[in-house]
Amino acid sequence: MRYEFLVGLRYTRSRRRAQGRNRFISFISAVSMLGTGLGVAALIVVLSVMNGFQEELRTRILGVASHVLVSGPLGELESWQRVADQAARHPEVLAAAPYVQEQGMLSFDQTVRGTMVRGVLPADEDRVADFARYMKGGALDELQPGRFGIVLGRDLALALRVHLGDRVTLIAPQGLVTPAAVLPRVRQFEVVGIFEAGMYEYDSGLALIHLRDAQVLYRLDDAVSGVRVKLADLFAAPRVARELGRYIEEPVVITDWTRSHANFFRAVALEKTMMTIILFLIVAVAAFNIVSTLVMAVQEKQADIAILRTLGASPGSIMTIFVLQGAVIGLVGLVGGVVAGLLLATNLDVVIPFLETVTGATLWNKEIYYISELPSKVLASDVTTIVSLSFVLTLVATLYPSWRAARVNPAEALRYE
């Protein structure tokens, strides 16, 4: 071992037996290690939650919504079968399904709730959405034309206090014009299924009925609102949406999920960026605590530095000693932070319920965060970036004190010894 490493490691270990002023330096070193570890752990946990939240939100949205949406220019599409066939010719399109989407009001036992009503063909809908996986009672296949069955989101069903087999009243806002007044169209539907997508927006505000029943209720004849398209690669949606214009000969409006839900994902990306910057400041503060630690250490070890210089040590060797000392402090904090961060990030499903039980507070409200549980996804690239940047900050923090140590004049340092 080179003597610079030997002396640097000895200075680091000697703090355990420090007394007096050296004990204060040891305390500052411990604070620096703890701050670095807490900052790194917080970064790993927050970025993992952001990654999991982004992926879970995207998965749940696209399990109910569509990758690409083809609709009529005025909100109605007459020749939807031809449009679906033309869209299916694109090599990256897996399936296409028609839909009718309108607003309505559901009433049961004097309880009224507004909802989005979506008319679907059950067999086709299973190919473009994941409702079969989300069903908690009944089945999507129970939607039969003319039976007037309805499938409700779980929170919507709870709000109306309905169960399978109950009959709810659906009120369409488009009214019937009579000589006396404009009357809303009203129809009773039997609850044949309840789904839970795990996303509050859909669970509390979406009702599914058969496509033909929706056409009858909203007087669309054979028209639909549009065609939902599922792709092999959801991230290719913007490109495929542009290319579908060459496959579809009808006048249509084509949008993709990155545009229809852009605000959600932009908000998550922006929040992730800002939280990363803020938490890196914590690491930076902890790293620059090492500056004060090493400055005091240099002041305390001036006599040792002078003796090393008189024995032939170069200024570069003195710098190496104190850089190594600061790097060890930072490295210990980094290792502790990574271990703690990974343990927390991979066990949030246990930690959050425990904290909620202890504090009695609701830390994760699905009505606010759209999804029912706190997700977490640790990415190796994030951990590598956090460790690399934190270690660089630690090394940068050691440069000034080490430079000060290298400039110590042996004669001045030993004058009063």
Residue with tokens 């034309």: 145
User: Minimal CA–CA distance to 395: which of 295, 314, 335, 320?
Assistant: 320
User: Minimal CA–CA distance to 290: which of 390, 370, 363?
Assistant: 390
Listed residues 251, 278, 313: the one ending a domain: 251
Listed residues 251, 275, 310: the one ending a domain: 251
Is the domain of 233 the same as that of 354?
no
Is the domain of 269 the same as that of 367?
yes
- pTM of the complete model beyond 0.75: no
Res 191: pLDDT: 93
Is the domain of 318 the same as that of 172?
no
Q: Is residue 260 part of a domain?
A: no
**Distance between CA atoms of residues 335 and 36, nearest Å:** 10
Q: Is residue 300 part of a domain?
A: yes
Q: What is the pLDDT of residues 207-232, one digit of tens each?
A: 999 999 998 888 888 889 989 998 88
Rg for the chain (alpha carbons), in Å? 32
Query: Which tokens in the block code for residue 127?
Result: 């190919």
**Distance between CA atoms of residues 207 and 194, nearest Å:** 9
Is the domain of 144 the same as that of 44?
no
Q: Is residue 68 part of a domain?
A: no
Its domain, for residue 243, covers 73-251
Is the domain of 193 the same as that of 304?
no
User: Minimal CA–CA distance to 408: which of 288, 291, 292, 314?
Assistant: 314
End-to-end CA distance of the chain: give it in Å, rounded. 30
The pair phi, psi for residue 135, each rounded to 5°, is -65, 130
Q: Is residue 331 part of a domain?
A: yes
Q: Which residues of the chain have pLDDT under 70?
A: 1, 3-5, 7-26, 175-183, 361-373, 411-417
User: DSSP label at 379?
Assistant: -
As for how many domains the chain has, the answer is: 2
Largest pairwise CA distance in the chain = 111
Inter-residue contact 234 to 65 (CB < 8 Å): no
Q: What is the pLDDT of residues 137-186, one digit of tens each?
A: 888 888 998 889 999 999 999 999 999 989 999 988 776 655 655 567 88
